[in-house]
């Protein structure tokens, strides 16, 4: 949803400059600069040279140049005017002359200027004589001062800071400070484990309240998976499985050596065979009822099983085993006809032998999962 919303917002930016030029008083300064940054990225999506306002780049590489008004009057809004400079593109995809925004709330001159008022009058008189040298000189300081003011505004507004960091190709692969702090809180702050999963690392931040809590519960896992994949989810606990013993842990007779235990004490350590039945370290993730297309998506041939397994593994840790049980709706069970189904039939996965309609949901598809990302 967030991605489609961003795409829609970017598509609407085609008229932002026009609206800003026609009705500058209707825009808040911070929102206007934010939209201009979006417009710069939309116009040059592959550029690596664009920088945000108030950064360390040259002013010519920034989307807009901010100037202070040369007037004694008080405009009705923080943005007095906007000039769209459509210059020919230079090397690297940059425009030679950035757009100009005239503001009235801050600067060296103007009604809120820091210099005495007679400096504003001097600038006005020189502009009247077609001499813009003093104004251009003062705008060097105006642009940097107001740009740093905008940068300070974005720094302490977490959504804006996150958005600006992801806008520019030069920092898109780097976390901003707040995101790095959130990743560290949920245990994903080191570079060695970042961006290794199929699911986005931002999912851990979104569910940070669950990951930051060291007491992991089945209810929290159930709700997280249901919310992330938008399907009915149930965590079945204490699912039994055979645990195979190593040779050293198996019971032996007549092989008691010094300093070693043969595990042959009746009622205590003796075990018949090479495996034991355990229920305390295994659970099952039950998904469904599903439609058949959903069932295929969560099967081993679909794209969602690995993502579900990795999200589950990252939450429960390495000390538990788990399986994924897919429940197919009874009216969605396909007929087993060789060569007739567009999706190949696989024994034990999506194949059922039946001569009539199912009287229950098919829940016999169980897949063991590791959930460990590849190196």
What CA–CA distances, in Å, run from 304 to 42, 137, 300, 347? 31, 58, 8, 20
Number of C-beta neighbours around residue 257 at 10 A: 8
- Residue 86, H or E segment: none
Q: Compute the distance between CA of residue 147 and CA of residue 265 in angstroms, rounded to an integer.
A: 78
> What residues contact residue 119 under an 8 Å CB cut-off, 6+ apart?
108, 109, 113
Q: Compute the distance between CA of residue 160 and CA of residue 154 in angstroms, rounded to an integer.
A: 6
Q: In whole numbers, what is the pLDDT of the chain averaged over residues?
A: 80
Question: What distance, in Å, lies between the first and last C-alpha atoms of the chain?
Answer: 30
pLDDT digits (tens, 9 = 90+) for 133-190: 999 999 999 999 999 999 999 888 888 888 877 776 454 556 677 788 888 888 777 7
Averaged pLDDT, 89-98? 52
- Within 87-156, where are the H helices? 117-128, 133-155
Q: Compute the distance between CA of residue 279 and CA of residue 222 in angstroms, rounded to an integer.
A: 19
pLDDT digits (tens, 9 = 90+) for 305-328: 989 999 999 898 888 889 999 998
- pLDDT tops 70 at residue 234: yes
Averaged pLDDT, 252-262? 59
Burial of 239 by CB count in 10 Å (0-12 exposed, 13-18 middle, 19+ buried)? middle
Residue 157's φ and ψ, nearest 5 degrees, are -120, 100
User: Residue 88 has what pLDDT?
Assistant: 41
Averaged pLDDT, 202-222? 87
> What residues contact residue 355 under an 8 Å CB cut-off, 6+ apart?
none
User: Residue 92 has what pLDDT?
Assistant: 46
Q: pTM of the full predicted structure?
A: 0.65
Q: Compute the distance between CA of residue 58 and CA of residue 50 in angstroms, rounded to an integer.
A: 10
More confident residue, 15 or 4: 15
Q: How far is CA 148 from the centre of its chain?
A: 27
The full set of domain ranges for the chain reads 2-167, 177-212, 218-240+279-369
- pLDDT tops 80 at residue 343: no
User: Residue 232 has what pLDDT?
Assistant: 93
Give the highest mean pLDDT range of 123-132, 190-199, 237-246, 358-367. Answer: 123-132
Q: Answer yes or no: are the C-beta atoms of 199 and 311 closer than 8 Å.
A: yes
From 308, 312, 295, 301, select the one nearest 364 (Cα to Cα).
295
3 state SS of 149: helix
Which region among 14-18, 43-47, 207-211, 235-239 has the lowest average model confidence (pLDDT)? 43-47
3 state SS of 323: strand
Which region among 14-23, 98-107, 234-243 has the lowest average model confidence (pLDDT)? 14-23
- Within 177-316, where are the H helices? 177-185, 202-206, 208-212, 218-229, 292-298, 304-316
3 state SS of 236: strand
Q: Answer yes or no: are the C-beta atoms of 250 and 263 closer than 8 Å.
A: yes
């Amino acid at each position: 949803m967030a991605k489609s919303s961003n795409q829609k917002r970017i598509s609407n930016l085609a008229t932002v400059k026009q609206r800003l030029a026609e009705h500058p008083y209707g825009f808040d300064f911070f929102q206007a600069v934010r939209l201009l940054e979006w417009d710069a990225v939309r116009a040059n999506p592959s550029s690596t040279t664009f920088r945000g306002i108030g950064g360390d780049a040259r002013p010519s590489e920034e989307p807009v140049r901010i100037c202070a008004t040369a007037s004694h009057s008080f405009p009705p809004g923080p943005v007095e005017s906007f000039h769209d400079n459509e210059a020919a593109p230079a090397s690297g995809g940059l425009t030679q002359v950035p757009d100009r925004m005239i503001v009235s709330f801050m600067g060296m001159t103007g009604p809120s200027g820091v210099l005495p008022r007679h400096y504003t009058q001097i600038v006005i008189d020189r502009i009247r004589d077609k001499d813009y040298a003093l104004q251009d000189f003062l705008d060097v300081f105006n642009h940097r001062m107001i740009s740093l003011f905008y940068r300070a505004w974005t720094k302490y507004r977490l959504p804006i800071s996150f958005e600006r960091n992801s806008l520019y190709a030069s920092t898109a692969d780097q976390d901003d400070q707040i995101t790095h702090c959130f990743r560290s809180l949920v245990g994903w702050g080191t570079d060695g484990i970042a961006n290794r999963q199929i699911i986005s690392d931002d999912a851990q931040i979104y569910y940070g309240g669950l990951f930051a809590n060291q007491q992991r519960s089945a209810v929290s896992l159930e709700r997280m998976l249901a919310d992330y994949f938008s399907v009915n989810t149930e965590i079945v606990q204490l699912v039994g499985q055979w645990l195979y013993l190593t040779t050293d842990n198996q019971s032996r007779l007549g092989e008691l050596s010094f300093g070693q235990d043969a595990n042959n004490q009746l009622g205590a350590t003796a075990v018949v065979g090479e495996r034991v039945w355990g229920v305390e370290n295994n659970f099952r993730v039950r998904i469904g009822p599903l439609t058949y297309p959903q069932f295929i998506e969560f099967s081993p041939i679909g794209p969602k099983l690995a993502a579900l397994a990795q999200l589950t593994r990252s939450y429960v840790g390495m000390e538990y085993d788990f399986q994924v049980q897919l429940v197919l709706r009874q009216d969605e069970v396909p007929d087993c006809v060789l060569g007739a189904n567009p999706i190949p039939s696989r024994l034990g996965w999506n194949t059922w032998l039946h001569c009539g309609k199912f009287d229950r949901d098919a829940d016999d598809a169980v897949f063991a999962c590791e959930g460990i990302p590849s190196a």
